[in-house]
Amino acid sequence: MRSLSPACFLLSGLMLLPGIACAEEGLLGHPPRSVVASWPVDALMNTAEEQRILAALGQPMEFIFVNEPLDQVVRELRQQHPTCRLMIDVRALEDMGLSTDQRVTYTDRASATLGQALLLVLEDLDLTLSLRNGWLRITTNEAAEEKLPTRVYDVTAWFSANEAPFNLRETIVLSIDPDTWEELGGPSSMKLQRIGRSRLLVISAPTLVQWKVDALLNCLANAARLPATSASPRSSDPPPESSIKVYRKSASVLPRFEGSASAR
């Protein structure tokens, strides 16, 4: 089965990614090929489990809800899409003085997928999605920024084809929700690591930010005709510690790229 990138799910509806465009022809019906390999760093969710959740988000949204409680909507969606693993982060909502009986209205069936419909509904409620530990949580923006999922992206092709690899990281920070990155006071971090011949970008950020980064990387890779990278981490022996480096941009542009994350 073909690996489903978060970019393919998101790029099937450009309205979910304001400011990101891709020149791939027929984008709305046929998302660009996923050429940038990435995988979650999650002790309770492997890549196959993540793939099942993403596949469910790409399925057609077949329900109409009119002034129904959020918890009832989630129960119906879980019955229709059990592999989506959808749940409400009740504690996070309660911490913000919110309840699960907030009313939900969704009546637009204009070729929307489950993922698109969820994001549109949650935006009206000032809520968001967080994919971690094998569950897709409906939660608050504050909670999503406190427990950041980590993801590894194989960006080796950029270093093979580009003499200025720092441009990639700068593009991400300046293009994808700039306020979320630690350089501008946000919670999200990014580290560029060299392991053998591979160049891996390790990002800890909210789920929606991760999906946008994935979409941007795949758009750029398709536009530049970069070769596809491996769909899974390399199995070669790890290099000695001295060969692992963190690349930093000059402080005059981006002061620092720090933060820690570990790949399995």
* pTM to 2 decimal places: 0.75
What distance in Å separates the CA atoms of residue 235 and residue 250, rounded to the nearest whole number? 33
Residues in Cβ contact with 82 at an 8 Å cutoff, skipping those fewer than 6 apart: none
| DSSP 8-state symbol, 12 | T
pLDDT confidence of 256, banded at 50, 70, 90?
very low
Structure token pair of residue 98: 């919110």
Structure token pair of residue 10: 């998101």
In Å, the largest CA–CA distance within the chain is: 59
What distance in Å separates the CA atoms of residue 40 and residue 61, rounded to the nearest whole number? 26
Provide the phi-psi class of 45: left if phi over 0, else alpha when psi is between -120 and 50, else beta.
Answer: beta
Return the amino acid letter for 88.
Answer: I
Residues in Cβ contact with 44 at an 8 Å cutoff, skipping those fewer than 6 apart: 132, 133, 134
Domains of the chain (ranges; CATH) run 43-146 (3.55.50.10), 150-243 (no CATH)
| pLDDT confidence of residue 158 | 78
Residues 119-137 pLDDT 10s:
999 999 999 999 999 999 9
